[in-house]
Structure 1
């Protein structure tokens, strides 16, 4: 009998190096211009399959949301229990310091406080002291006909202004449709929409609530919502990294 060779998964340290090796000046420029920015590949196919497999293992999650029941769209997502799987935690910790500089710059432009400390651990401790002590890391599953209504992931007063979604399936092979949608309400103008395909293992950084938009009076806050277009066929899974707790 021939034994199957175990799939090789990426170690947390390698994930951190991949995040650090991204072109952060280019990502920052895209976020400033569009409110979203695509990252290079972060997770390999084996990593993606392992995270998808977690979806059916109850022990990994604290709660499940049926979107149709709450009129959020159609499909389901699950909140990871704390602590989340090692790759999820590694990616979250690796992204935080890079996103922190952008968050502080945006707060300065909008004349807002920047309450985020230098480390993710310190920031989460502040969230917990404010009563936000539940994990907000999400694993989403969509089937044919499912979609996600435009929304913002706000769970309390403590909010980090950027988050990340990572595609776990191959668009065009595992599923069709299901583009990630971002809609920005521009000051004194009609809204602008951006649709993005998430390649397997790649991430998309986007704004959680609003972002600074240059106006005749300086900087204004442009409210932003995000969602997912209708999945036409197959199954689409994605990982959501949120940098404040619920």
Structure 2
């Protein structure tokens, strides 16, 4: 089986338009990153990760979180994927620190992912959360946040590893935004095969007419009507 190459994931993360990405995150709470994986690499990646993660398979039904299967990577992600996550973190830490400053949160994130994960372990956060999610017909993921623990990174990366209308129908990636004293605002991210997106993990600042305030974010995957939908979530912090 062909090995995953870092260059196939994205050789130029540092050279993405991070000013535009930051602006989109400020405005919507997510930023689309089209074509982060080629079609061949996305499908090959599915085959490898579901095999590697079989020992850490979890059913969404068991936690009341929906219906379908999660395959957790555990503490050690495949090296190219860990490099990918590390490079994303380096570029997202500045955005995360700016958000904390706006929200008057004292903590700041270190420049390197390894240093941040050390803080996690010192606080008793050692449960890795990054995973592949496999959903068949009638499966879905309920609205949720990956926000457990003292040290929570406010951004994460999601990717779609199968092709809408070809491999599956339904299964839209959905986010909701709850502003104070307002009804929730739903958003559907138009992910295609190989696309990724940076999303808000739980809370983010929103600039209103009277200044910034905190809004609450959740995400979900709607019911798959036919076929098999496979996606991935990468988080930058561990859970207790």
Q: Which residue of 1 aligns with 2:40?
A: 46
Structure 2 residues without counterparts, runs of 5 or longer: none
CA distance in 2, matches of 1:60, 1:140: 11
Deviation at 1:46, TM superposition (A): 2.7
8 Å contact from structure 1 (residues 16, 94) kept in 2: no
After the TM superposition, which of the residue ranges 82-91 and 180-189 deviates more from structure 2?
A: 82-91
Q: Which residue of 1 aligns with 2:21?
A: 27
TM-score normalised over the length of structure 1: 0.90
8 Å contact from structure 2 (residues 10, 37) kept in 1: no
8 Å contact from structure 1 (residues 35, 211) kept in 2: yes
Q: Secondary structure at the match of 2:105?
A: coil
TM-score normalised over the length of structure 2: 0.92
Q: Which residue of 2 aligns with 1:80?
A: 73
Q: Which residue of 2 aligns with 1:230?
A: 223
8 Å contact from structure 1 (residues 208, 224) kept in 2: yes
Deviation at 1:55, TM superposition (A): 4.7
CA distance in 2, matches of 1:184, 1:151: 12
Moved over 6 A (4+): none
1:196 is aligned to 2:193: no
CA distance in 1, matches of 2:134, 2:53: 15
Q: Secondary structure at the match of 2:61?
A: coil
8 Å contact from structure 1 (residues 211, 224) kept in 2: yes
- 1:184 corresponds, among 177, 196, 212, to 177
Q: Which residue of 2 aligns with 1:121?
A: 114
CA distance in 2, matches of 1:16, 1:44: 10
Deviation at 1:47, TM superposition (A): 2.1
Aligned positions, number: 239
8 Å contact from structure 2 (residues 100, 108) kept in 1: no
Structure 1 residues without counterparts, runs of 5 or longer: 1-5
CA distance in 2, matches of 1:237, 1:14: 18
1:12 is aligned to 2:3: no
